Structure 1
């Protein structure tokens, strides 16, 4: 989902000239937050919006005309910031962004202009946490506004904290949570901050956790929420308990790749009762809409179809062995979103057909497979016997599949310049297109067993 950017007030030609000069887009990415059990508990909505440059006094003289021109430039810049704030609120409140949250809480950066804009009411307090950046000027007017919004049940997070300062001290009483930039905070300060803030009853969020070791440190210090992609690293598999045995899933995937008969599938599935249980649940899910209960394995295979069984098996590799619903499982959500994004995005490229869509789905779903097996990615891909273009895309980001994988990876991390570079290789997809498709894919991945359209995924539990 993209939204046209705010008009540039410095462009000549009045409103019409300003509108014609608009080039930038406002669009949204999401980054997961996990709880102490390693399950999803929210998403930060990262909104890319156009920057509004501040007027430079050095460009103006002391003449009466230039003084007036500088004053007008300051006024125009403020008006532009207000319009950007409105666009950011509009993007965060868009139904596509809401669907991508899969019922979880949203965290969104709030500028000064957003806090004072009445369209903020489009972000319901029950669904949104407002993150206050460290460069916010906590003057009396802003503190009063925060107090007023707090009285309306809006909740605040002090964001990117590395060192307590005057702004931190003034806003802390009205914050429900404090997000600490883990990588940029002095290690010796972390235990002190954690102890004081926990004693004050604040929710502690550790930001920038990209390794299991960093997560473990934050966990040991008593942090409550964890933001980063540590859970998608090979060393993180110890956090998760395997569902169906991995070797059984690999054997089934290899069989499915050979266009098996129903009898062959039935024989392979019978070797593992856990897989039989999962398939029976899949066949009886509301998504298939059969209208009757499936009672035999053969009927379940026929009702589900080999293509759907294959995708279910691929995603089942990522399922946590605990009784965790799909929408709460971070690694499965990430893999499913990537896979669906790749499938949707490849259809926008020239000469893409069914085979290319299947290859794109496989590229996305197996791009995290080293996190499951804890082995080097190339050797794990060898076990799966994937085609050369898929392997090249995952290992070296080659070809159109590799460019799409680079694009979704950049979006996940909010690396906007990397997203621009990846999109430039794709021609048919702008960065805004990538963001829009990613939200659609996230909504698809977040569907448990409530979709009657059978394009979604089913709840996976032992």
Structure 2
């Protein structure tokens, strides 16, 4: 594929794709505008050692904006069972493109058409799936039934919209719906809020293990998730753990704090679905810690970076203003500034994690390649967290 030379390591936004149970099933690679040829830029990212192992078992949806230029040699190092080639619907009417994509499909690569192609063009490209912005309108029913799927609905801003799209035939979803939970999904009970804030306060001031035990026993859901976690494959213990005291001893103080901060997001929702905020909080926390380490910050500063990342979604989780949450906790001033105003060194780092751009990365002294490595590690950890909690 001929393409303009890429002078900079590409920046990518990884968009998580969820199924109807809020479980991650795939990642969309969205490249920054300065990446040049987006498929070639994606190949640069995928040359990272063990990248597919890090993102396993998720499938990778790669942009192919010019499928007529795609060559077999570019696909040789990509595992067909993990790759979905995303092509624009407008290119599907080209007979040469149809033949080329059909050949790649025969070799095991799956084709996803972005948008709705005319007539039978998607079928002629051997496409299995459609990727459609269904935020406002749904595609024709015939467009979905013509391919086996799974079909991906983008622009999902709410759980209600996901339900509508699921009825229409979509089974994969992406969007910012996790940041806009329904009222039923929030922790609406005042007693629960107070208990969670109390627990967060104990964690923030490194309270005695016995104090943590008392609060854990008052929260059956949180206690269940903690015991489930320490008995999971993530810790591979020779004998099961049955008490909170044992769990605390096994994890250690530092790890206990981190896992409990994440476990707050794992509380079972009324509908029984996984909380989509959990992996997002894990990504932010891990990226913050990883970038802090790359910047040469000491261990305490790295811990504060982790806390700022994992707490940055508490206002969504608890349906409370961040000012009220921060007022109830004994947090370091740098963490408070980051959470309230995205100010200070931690606030600057949090902004980079939320919305990176080349100029800000350069100003922070973080290379694009370093950012990608932290991003990859963060998604790897978030995948593992989601599977073990």
CA distance in 2, matches of 1:118, 1:38: 36
Q: Deviations over 1:151-187 (max 9, x none)?
A: 223211111x2xx565x7523442111111235xxx5
1:146 to 78, 95, 101: 101
Residue 46 of structure 1 aligns to a residue whose secondary structure is strand
Counterpart secondary structure, 2:381: helix
Mapped to 1, the partners of 2:92 and 2:223 lie a distance apart of: 59
Contact 2:92 2:98 in 1 (8 A): no
Greater shift after overlay, 267-276 or 126-135? 267-276
Identify if the C-alpha distance between structure 1 residues 176 and 90 changes in structure 2 by more than 3 Å, giving closer, same or farther: same
The residue number in structure 2 matching 1:452 is none
Q: Deviations over 1:60-79 (max 9, x none)?
A: xxxxxxxxxxxxxxxxxxxx
How far 1:342 moved relative to its partner?
Answer: 0.2
Q: Distance in 1 between matches of 2:147 and 2:387?
A: 38
Distance 1:325 1:421, change over 3 A: farther
Once residues 89 and 295 of structure 1 are traced to their aligned partners in structure 2, the CA distance between those partners, rounded to angstroms, is: 47
CA distance in 1 between partners of 2:358 and 2:28 (Å):
21
8 Å contact 1:155–1:175 — kept in the other structure?
A: yes
Q: Tell me the TM-score normalised to structure 1 length.
A: 0.72
Contact 2:185/2:269 (<8 A) preserved: no
The 5 Å alignment of 1:336-351 reads 336-349=282-295
Q: Shift of the alpha carbon at 1:123? A: 2.2
Match of 1:299 in 2: 246
The one of 337, 348, 353 aligned to 1:408: 353
Aligned equivalents of 2:39, 2:214: Cα separation in 1: 59
Cα-to-partner distance string for 1:417-462 (whole Å, 9 max, x where unaligned): xx12431441x202332222111111122225xxxxxxxx8822xx
Say what the alpha-carbon RMSD is for the aligned residues: 3.4
Work out whether 1:373 is the aligned partner of 2:313. no
2-structure distance, mates of 1:322, 1:101:
26
Matched, 1:39 2:23: yes
* 1:318 Cα deviation after fit: 1.0
- The structure 2 residue matched to 1:91, chosen from 45, 51, 61, is 45
SS of 2:14 mapped into structure 1: strand
Is the 1:156–1:177 contact (alpha carbons within 8 Å) kept by the matching residues of 2?
Answer: yes
Cα–Cα, structure 1 residues 325 and 432, in superposed 2: closer, same or farther, change >3 Å? farther
1:49/1:318 Cα in 2 relative to 1: closer, same or farther (>3 Å)?
same
State the 1:262 CA deviation.
3.4
Give the greater-gyration-radius structure (CA): 1
In the aligned structure 2, how far is the partner of 1:339 from the partner of 1:139?
45
- Rounded to whole Å, the distance in 2 between the matches of 1:338 and 1:86 is 27
1:211–1:438 Cα change, 3 Å: same
Bigger RCO of structures 1 and 2 (CA < 8 A, at least 6 apart): 1
Q: Is the 8 A contact 2:154 2:173 kept in 1?
A: yes
Structure 1, unaligned stretches of length 5 or more? 1-5, 9-21, 53-80, 412-418, 449-456
TM alignment of 1:75-114, pairs within 5 A? 85-86=39-40, 88-92=42-46, 94-110=48-64, 111-112=66-67
Q: What TM-score results when the alignment is normalised by the length of structure 2? A: 0.83
